[in-house]
């Protein structure tokens, strides 16, 4: 599995060597810096798995674990006591729990986009980030799946959403229930994403197997499914990856369209609209790429992967964020236009209430974070600043959470009858559940970085050879 290590490592190029072409024009930054050889890639990617954790990793892990403990305490208390611990009322029956669910499902979409869609389009800049994005998808879907179960009130009866054999014959579920739609959407998406993630890791697991000893070697040998690196094995592997990518790509559209149908099939003003499926899908990609940036900017520092997650990767993701953020802004304007053009007084009031009602502050936070802040990425200096990009990714994550909060809560606080209007304020239990979701997500991701290769070694090795040629020709 291991490539032959050359006797001499080529000298590193100076910035002047790679910044200008022969005619004086700037070149495209290389995908992988440091003039890495295949042996260097294997050694660097396996290093976090074969050595002790760094102080930065322990600091990040303990912080994430503290957030997770807060969430465990909050969820444990609300399960023992009941969902009366939330700030819900007869008018606002959905709040933080469903807001968190839609948010985490959206976060998981960028992983499928990077892994599947960019693979089908042969985009080479995905090679260093696809593995982390796929893992992010798995962990985000796990976080998303917890909230509908908690929302049931009796999570120990969650198996009721599945048809199961019993003494009364087959007990079929209610296929008209939006909760059941979420079960099918999450289950399908999680299964395909997990399979795609695992299949993609098999060659790297075999590399770790060949470098490991003892019990770890046995575990990696079992997980690598007897990978031998033969030409026939590689050919079948590539066909399997393309087929899974083609299967996973429609899920980017279908899964969040199903989630949006939870709202669009109701008659609540502000929800009953056909723009929701594409609106939710593009918003999911937008928020997912922002979370990928947040994770990778942390991981490249904590795990010492600056040579593999380079400025070229960051700039490519920034451009996707600008594109999708502009579409999200267009969706906001489309909602306002349709409400006005429809002539429906209930729809018109719903959006006026969002912009000027008692919870207008959440609407303007959403607009500022999701529409205005991404426009800063049009400027090259902003895209080249790691600190600025990291701050903007956090701002977008906040804005996309508030988007779901605005859609759900402000639409419910004031519906058709003024006599049924009610305000909403979250309790500390709900805030603790939100914090715990982030704690679970970051804890799982940090453990993944220590146990499994977070960069696809074999894919990175495929793009380091033509690096000099790409820099001369302007890249691909």
* DSSP 8-state symbol, 154: -
- CA-wise closest residue to 290 among 98, 115, 133: 133
| pLDDT score recorded for residue 473 | 42
SS3 324: helix
Whole-number Cα distances in Å, 41 to 3, 47, 208, 458, 462:
10, 10, 13, 9, 11
Superfamily of domain 27-164+171-473: Formate dehydrogenase/DMSO reductase domain (1.20.1630.10)
**Do the beta carbons of residue 33 and residue 307 sit within 8 Å?**
yes
The CA distance from 221 to 209, in Å, is 6
* Tokens read off for 242: 């393309």
Q: Is the pLDDT of residue 70 over 90?
A: yes
pLDDT tens digits for 210-268?
888 888 888 988 988 888 888 899 899 989 988 888 888 887 788 878 888 888 888 88
* Mean pLDDT, residues 84-88 taken together: 86
More confident: 172 or 60: 60
* Mean pLDDT, residues 441-457 taken together: 90
| pLDDT score recorded for residue 73 | 94
The CA distance from 318 to 314, in Å, is 6
* Tokens read off for 441: 């997500």
Q: Quickly state the pLDDT bin for 472 (edges 50, 70, 90).
A: very low
Q: Quickly state the pLDDT bin for 465 (edges 50, 70, 90).
A: low
Mean of the per-residue pLDDT values of the chain:
83
pTM attached to this predicted model: 0.84
Please report the DSSP string for 307-321 in residue order. TTS-HHHHHHHHHHH
| pLDDT score recorded for residue 362 | 92
Query: For residue 225, is it left (φ>0), alpha (ψ between -120 and 50) or beta?
Result: left
**Range in 5-14, 284-293, 396-405, 459-468 the model is least confident about:** 5-14
The CA distance from 150 to 431, in Å, is 14
* DSSP 8-state symbol, 306: T
* Mean pLDDT, residues 351-376 taken together: 91
Q: How many helices (H) and strands (E) does the chain have?
A: 20, 0
Alpha helices in 212-310 (DSSP H): 214-223, 231-264, 276-302
Q: Is the pLDDT of residue 4 over 60?
A: no
| pLDDT score recorded for residue 414 | 86
**Structural domain spans, the chain:** 27-164+171-473
Q: Quickly state the pLDDT bin for 29 (edges 50, 70, 90).
A: low
| Number of other residues whose CB lies within 10 A of the CB of residue 439 | 22
| pLDDT score recorded for residue 18 | 42
| pLDDT score recorded for residue 333 | 93
Q: Quickly state the pLDDT bin for 171 (edges 50, 70, 90).
A: low
180-207 burial string, b = 16+ CB within 10 Å, else e?
A: ebbbebbeebbebbeebbeebbbbbbbb
More confident: 178 or 11: 178
Instruction: Provide, rounded to the nearest whole percent, the portion of the chain with pLDDT above 70.
Output: 89
pLDDT tens digits for 272-317?
888 888 888 888 889 888 998 998 898 888 888 888 888 888 888 8
| pLDDT score recorded for residue 166 | 64
Backbone angles phi, psi at 79, to 5 degrees: -70, -40
Q: Quickly state the pLDDT bin for 9 (edges 50, 70, 90).
A: very low
| pLDDT score recorded for residue 179 | 78
Instruction: Provide, rounded to the nearest whole percent, the portion of the chain with pLDDT above 90.
Output: 22
* DSSP 8-state symbol, 376: G
| Number of other residues whose CB lies within 10 A of the CB of residue 219 | 14
Q: Is the pLDDT of residue 475 over 80?
A: no
The CA distance from 348 to 41, in Å, is 57
């Amino acid at each position: 599995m291991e490539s032959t290590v050359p006797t001499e490592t080529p000298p590193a190029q100076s910035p002047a060597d790679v910044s200008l072409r022969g005619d004086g024009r700037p070149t495209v930054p290389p995908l992988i810096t440091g003039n890495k050889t295949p042996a260097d890639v294997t050694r660097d990617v396996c290093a976090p798995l074969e050595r002790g954790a760094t102080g930065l990793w322990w600091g990040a892990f303990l912080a994430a674990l503290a957030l997770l403990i807060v969430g465990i305490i909050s969820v444990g208390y609300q399960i023992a006591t009941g969902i009366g611990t939330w700030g819900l009322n007869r008018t606002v029956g959905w709040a933080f729990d469903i807001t968190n669910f839609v948010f985490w499902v959206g976060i998981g979409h960028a992983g499928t986009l990077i892994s599947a869609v960019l693979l089908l389009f042969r985009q080479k800049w995905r090679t260093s980030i696809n593995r982390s994005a796929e893992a992010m998808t798995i962990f985000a879907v796990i976080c998303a799946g917890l909230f509908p179960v908690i929302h049931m009130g009796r999570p120990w009866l969650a198996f009721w959403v599945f048809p199961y054999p019993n003494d009364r014959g087959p007990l079929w579920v209610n296929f008209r229930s939006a909760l059941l739609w979420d079960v099918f959407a999450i289950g399908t998406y999680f299964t395909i994403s997990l399979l795609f993630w695992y299949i993609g890791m098999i060659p790297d697991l075999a590399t770790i197997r060949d470098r490991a000893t003892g019990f770890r070697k046995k575990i990696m040998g079992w997980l690598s499914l007897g990978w031998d690196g033969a030409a026939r094995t590689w050919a079948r592997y590539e066909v399997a990856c393309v087929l899974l990518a083609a299967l996973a790509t429609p899920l980017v559209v279908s899964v969040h369209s199903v989630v949006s149908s939870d709202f669009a099939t109701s008659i609540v003003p502000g929800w009953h609209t056909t723009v929701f499926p594409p609106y939710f899908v593009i918003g999911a990609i937008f928020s997912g790429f922002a979370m990928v940036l947040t994770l990778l900017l942390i991981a490249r520092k904590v795990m010492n992967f600056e040579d593999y997650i380079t400025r070229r990767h960051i700039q490519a993701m920034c451009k996707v964020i600008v594109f999708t953020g502009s579409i999200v802004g267009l969706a906001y304007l489309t909602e306002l236009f349709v409400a006005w053009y429809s002539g429906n007084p209930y729809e018109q009031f719903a959006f006026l209430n969002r912009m000027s009602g008692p919870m207008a502050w959440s609407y303007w936070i959403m607009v500022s974070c999701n529409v205005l802040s991404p426009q800063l990425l049009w400027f090259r200096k902003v895209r080249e600043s790691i600190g600025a990009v990291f701050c903007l990714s956090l701002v977008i994550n906040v804005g996309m959470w508030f988007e779901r909060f605005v859609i759900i809560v402000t639409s419910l606080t004031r519906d058709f009858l003024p006599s049924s209007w009610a305000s909403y304020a979250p309790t500390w239990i709900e805030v603790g559940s939100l914090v715990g979701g982030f704690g679970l997500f970051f804890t799982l991701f940090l453990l993944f970085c220590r146990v499994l290769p977070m960069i696809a070694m074999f894919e990175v090795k495929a793009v380091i050879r033509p690096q000099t040629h790409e820099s001369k020709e302007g890249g691909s």
